[in-house]
């Protein structure tokens, strides 16, 4: 019997997330993404199937050239219109009991003080089932939507993210001591002020006094996801992430990415097992291989090449989109990094920008019978993958097929959980509800108990985390 893999449903509060054109299918329910019943129904089906979590992607702007027309995105429904997953998770939290709920939020779109408060509130509502996918943004249009002239330099965005999480860690882990919340009706003391602290954070971008307004939630800090595959992204994940979402084109390349990140985690004082890796995959399932190939042909009949090309567009340092035939070796971009892995996958010629669309459309799918799919997932697990982000073609059908046809085979092999473990999401995945002591956020526990009462005195309590 194998070790169980973890399974997330990788979704977005929009009509066309990853597989563009599929919303046109008669059985595609994602066109009704504005309807809360679409998501409540899906969440409850996923929970019945014992998925570990629903993982919501998000963006804060349009892809591509911010000065060009955006007709293709509107025509394709390509992440416009889209809605805020943070709000949606509050509704799903009260309609489910066990499944994790992961949101994506980038450092541009929300001040860390306000974001930390929102996440603590969601973690209270869900009784400890919230995860945060930490991203830095990758669209010039998204940066402009928050008052910037253009997207901040890639390396600087990760420095920004380092300070952003530092503020959040101080609020979640250091502002309230254990036992601060009393709710003592007899003495008339709701909270012990000696155990609640201002953080007096001072950094290049933020000046936050505190204290954190919510009391500690079941996890304090949400489970921490990260999805960057660039050198900067992997270094950030090694220091901060508990789960990393990858889209490797093969198990062999996944093994290289995973090994590199785990090596850096050890260098940062953590352990290799402190991070779980989730590979993004979609599935075409048939009772026979012939049936699966016929279904694949049907799915491909709805594929929008324009949608895939627009989604994978890369812009140069001036914000202009590179033509599809541009060799990746000539690409110099401030937005999407990490494309060096493509060069390790395409070895018979020089890879070009258009290959990114091809890889997104074709290489993240497994086609076959449930048994063949299980065989392939064992290969991904052997490469070091701990879980799968299941990418849908349609909602809810893709997840229903996976739950009804593939999960029973996986369970028979010991590769999927039969029941949920108890406790908050982190406890389900790692065995304890709180971050372990090796995580950089843990250094803020008890760091503000010395009675410091000014910016000058408190600024040196714990140095800000540096990238």
What confidence score (pLDDT) does residue 450 get?
A: 74
Cα–Cα distances in Å, from 95 out to 40, 85, 418, 455? 7, 15, 21, 43
b/e code 263-299 from CB counts within 10 Å (16+ = b): ebbeeeebeeebbbbbbbbbbbbbeeeeebeebbeeb
Q: Supply the pLDDT for residue 322.
A: 67
The pLDDT tens digits for 383-405 are: 999 999 999 999 999 999 999 99
**What is the average pLDDT across 217-240?**
93
Overall average pLDDT of the 3-11 stretch: 98
Whole-model pTM over 0.85: yes
Per-residue pLDDT at 337: 47
Interval 66-107: pLDDT, tens = 888 899 999 999 999 999 999 999 999 999 999 999 999 999
Mean pLDDT, all residues of the chain: 91
What does the pLDDT look like over 414-467, one tens digit per residue? Answer: 999 999 999 999 999 999 999 999 999 999 999 998 765 566 665 555 444 433
| pLDDT on residue 396 | 98
Q: What is the DSSP letter of 228?
A: -
Plot region of 147 (φ>0 → left; ψ -120 to 50 → alpha; else → beta): left
CA terminus-to-terminus distance, the chain: 41
Q: What is the pLDDT of residues 259-276, one digit of tens each?
A: 999 999 999 999 999 999
**pLDDT above 80 for 363:** no
pLDDT above 70 (res 151): yes
pLDDT reported for residue 2: 84
Rounded CA gap, 291 and 277, in Å?
Answer: 31
Residue with tokens 């954070």: 201
Residue 194 per-residue DSSP state: G
- Residue 348 binned pLDDT confidence (cut-offs 50, 70, 90): low
* pLDDT at position 342 over 80: no
Q: Identify the pLDDT of residue 464.
A: 44
Q: Is the pLDDT of residue 357 over 90?
A: no
The pLDDT score that the predictor gives to residue 61 is 95
Tell me the per-residue pLDDT of 203-224, one tens digit each, with 9 for 90 and over: 999 999 999 999 999 999 999 9
Backbone region of residue 338 per phi and psi (left: phi > 0; alpha: psi in -120 to 50; beta: other values) = left
Structure tokens at 383: 């490469």
């Amino acid at each position: 019997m194998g070790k169980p893999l973890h399974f997330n449903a990788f979704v977005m509060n929009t009509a066309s997330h990853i597989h563009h054109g599929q919303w046109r299918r008669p059985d595609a329910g994602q066109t009704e993404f504005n309807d809360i019943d679409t998501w409540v129904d899906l969440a409850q089906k996923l929970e019945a199937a014992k998925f570990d979590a629903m993982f919501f992607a998000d963006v804060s702007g349009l892809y591509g050239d911010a000065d060009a027309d955006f007709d293709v995105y509107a025509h394709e429904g390509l992440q416009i219109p889209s809605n805020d997953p943070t709000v949606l998770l509050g509704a799903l939290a009260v309609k489910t009991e066990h499944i994790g709920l992961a949101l994506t939020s980038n450092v541009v779109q929300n001040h860390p003080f306000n974001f930390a408060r929102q996440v603590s509130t969601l973690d209270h509502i869900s009784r400890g089932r919230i995860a945060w996918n930490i991203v830095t943004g990758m669209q010039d249009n998204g940066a402009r939507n928050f008052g910037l002239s253009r997207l901040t330099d890639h390396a600087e965005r990760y420095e920004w993210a380092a300070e952003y999480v530092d503020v959040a860690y101080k609020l979640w882990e250091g502002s309230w001591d254990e036992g601060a919340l009393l709710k003592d009706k007899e003495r008339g003391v709701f909270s012990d002020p000696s155990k609640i602290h201002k953080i007096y954070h001072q950094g290049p971008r933020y000046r936050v006094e505190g204290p954190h307004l919510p009391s500690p939630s079941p996890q304090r800090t949400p489970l921490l996801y990260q999805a960057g595959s660039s050198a900067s992204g992997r270094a950030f994940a090694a220091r901060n992430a508990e789960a990393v979402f990858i889209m490797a084109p093969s198990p062999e390349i996944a093994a290289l990415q995973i090994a590199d990140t785990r090596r850096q985690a050890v260098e940062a004082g953590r352990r290799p097992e402190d991070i779980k890796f989730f590979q993004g995959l979609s599935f075409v399932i048939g009772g026979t291989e012939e049936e699966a190939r016929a279904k694949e042909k049907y799915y491909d009949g709805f594929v929008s090449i324009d949608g895939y090309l627009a989604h994978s567009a890369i812009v140069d340092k001036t914000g202009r989109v590179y033509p599809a035939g541009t060799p990746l070796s000539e690409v110099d971009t401030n937005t999407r990094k990490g494309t060096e892995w493509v060069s390790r996958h395409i070895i018979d010629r020089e890879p070009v920008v258009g290959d990114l669309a091809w890889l997104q459309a074709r290489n993240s799918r497994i086609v076959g019978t449930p048994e063949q799919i299980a065989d392939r997932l064992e290969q991904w697990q052997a490469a070091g993958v701990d879980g799968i982000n299941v990418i849908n073609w349609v909602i809810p059908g893709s997840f229903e097929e996976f739950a009804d046809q593939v999960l029973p085979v996986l369970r028979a092999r010991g590769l999927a959980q039969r029941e949920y473990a108890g406790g908050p999401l982190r406890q389900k995945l790692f065995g304890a509800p709180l971050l372990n002591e090796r995580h950089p956020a843990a250094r803020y526990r008890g760091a503000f108990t010395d009675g410091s009462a000014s910016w000058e005195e408190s600024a040196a309590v714990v140095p800000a985390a540096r990238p």
